[in-house]
């Protein structure tokens, strides 16, 4: 997946738009760490002294006092460093001046795990979740996964992970606890309809779907993008071309529960439906970069309905907003998440990664969706998470999905 244009000769820049605190597969996080390796020649430029330095002497003094006087011996210096780095970046979230939920420091191990996901597979259990009313709640189960085999269900509230209280955990924190090596165990305690249930689930290699599709009605092609990753645009193009060749002339494009990914993938997918114009405008400290469609799409004349919900975010919102602004699609579902920020990955000396907000993005119309979201043309809610149509599940019932049914009605 090609990175966006470099700003300066010494840094290859990969622009990424992603969402952290929404629906995820347990055992994965949609963090696309594709930053370049560090060239030793340019390392001094990357790590030059900042304009204002931290008081490292006092910081070291704090840790030395902890080492000498804390009730337990042998404090781990690596853990302390990681905690300090995370706290430094977390200041962007805690400060009312910034209110940035999307900048993070990742340890080398976290970075390795996230790259595994980006490559398309990871050790996990195969479920998705979100925090609802402060409760960690399962929202969907991947077909043929360990979670499905164990009878974990959408709507289950996770109360404990390996015996530890799950109250107050973010989705990211829960993911880090549930994901792990293949063939190892994770124990979940869940609340279901007033009952407390225990699950001992063996992690497996989970293949992350990129794009799934099927002919859902005569002449109607349904296609779902799970995330805007390395292979999403290629997979989307192939499946869409096959549908057009079969004679399908109507498309239901499902972006629900899609937390985003690469801007370049969004650009290419928008280009399938839009002949000319802008897909997104990325504005950083000093420049505005207008991304244009390729002009090489295969579905310029098809009728399109896009399904969105409150967990459609960032690259999903770029795609939905562009198709709406270019009057190429009707949007059906719920208002989207509202993330109009762009992050960039900066590789660090210790093998970790700084994932930092570097820009804002705007729709082709010039509107920002940040903290606002995109309002669909037709608002429709699902009665329950279990009604969601999972195209990968042979037993899925499209008739129960009120949003999907509204999309079909819009195409008649």
Which residues participate in catalysis according to the annotation? 314, 325, 339
185/148 Cα distance (integer angstroms) = 15
CB 340 within 8 A of CB 369: yes
Contact 323, 361 (CB under 8 A): no
Nearest to 175 by CA among 195, 163, 158: 158
**Structural contact between residues 287 and 7, judged by C-beta atoms closer than 8 angstroms:** yes
d(CA 43, CA 57): 24
Chain-centroid distance of CA 359 in Å reads 17
User: For the chain, how many helices (H) and strands (E)?
Assistant: 10, 22
Outline where 107-222 has alpha helix (H): 108-119, 146-149, 171-178
- How far CA 39 is from CA of 10, 17, 36, 45, 112, in Å, comes to 9, 25, 9, 10, 19
127-131 contact pairs (CB < 8 A, 24+): 127/25, 127/26, 127/27, 127/152, 128/23, 128/24, 128/25, 128/26, 128/257, 129/23, 129/24, 129/26, 129/158, 129/171, 129/174, 130/22, 130/23, 130/24, 130/171, 130/311, 131/21, 131/170, 131/171
Pairing of the two strands 303-308 and 250-254: parallel
Contact 306, 255 (CB under 8 A): yes
Structure-token match 């010039």, residue found: 366
Residues 6+ apart with CB under 8 A from 196: 159, 189, 190
């Amino acid at each position: 997946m090609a990175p966006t244009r470099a700003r300066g000769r010494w840094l290859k820049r990969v622009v990424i738009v992603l969402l952290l605190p929404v629906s995820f597969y347990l055992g994965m996080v949609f963090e696309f760490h594709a930053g370049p390796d560090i060239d030793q020649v340019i390392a001094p430029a990357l790590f030059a002294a900042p304009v204002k330095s931290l008081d490292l002497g006092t910081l070291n003094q704090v840790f030395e006092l902890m080492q000498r006087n804390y009730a337990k011996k042998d404090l781990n210096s690596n853990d302390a460093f990681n905690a300090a780095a995370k706290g430094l970046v977390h200041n962007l979230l805690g400060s009312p001046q910034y209110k940035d939920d999307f900048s993070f420091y990742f340890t080398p191990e976290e970075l390795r795990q996230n790259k595994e996901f980006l490559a398309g597979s990871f050790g996990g259990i195969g479920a998705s979740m979100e925090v609802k009313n402060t409760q960690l709640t399962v929202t969907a189960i991947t077909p043929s996964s360990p979670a499905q085999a164990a009878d974990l269900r959408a709507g289950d509230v996770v109360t404990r992970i390996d015996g530890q209280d799950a109250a107050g955990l973010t989705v990211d924190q829960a993911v880090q606890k549930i994901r792990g090596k293949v063939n190892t165990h994770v124990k979940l305690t869940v609340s279901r309809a007033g009952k407390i249930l225990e699950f001992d689930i063996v992690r497996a290699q989970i293949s992350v779907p990129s794009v799934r599709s099927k002919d859902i009605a005569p002449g109607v092609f349904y296609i779902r993008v799970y995330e805007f990753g390395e292979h999403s645009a290629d997979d989307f193009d192939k499946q869409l071309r096959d549908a057009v060749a079969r004679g399908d002339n109507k498309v239901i494009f499902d972006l629900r529960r899609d937390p985003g990914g690469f801007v370049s993938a969004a650009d290419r997918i928008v280009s399938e439906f839009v002949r000319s114009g802008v897909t997104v405008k990325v504005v950083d400290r000093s420049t505005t970069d207008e991304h244009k469609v390729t002009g090489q799409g295969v579905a310029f004349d098809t009728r399109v309905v896009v399904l969105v919900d409150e967990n459609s975010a960032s690259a999903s919102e770029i795609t939905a907003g562009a198709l709406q602004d270019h009057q190429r699609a009707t949007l059906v579902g719920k208002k989207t998440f509202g993330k109009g920020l762009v992050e960039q990955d900066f590789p660090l000396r210790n093998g970790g990664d700084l994932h930092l907000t570097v820009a804002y993005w705007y729709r082709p119309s010039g509107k920002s969706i940040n903290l606002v979201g995109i309002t669909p043309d037709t608002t429709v809610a699902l009665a329950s998470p279990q009604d969601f149509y999972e195209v990968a599940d042979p037993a899925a019932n499209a008739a129960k999905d009120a949003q999907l049914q509204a999309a079909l009605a819009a195409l008649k």
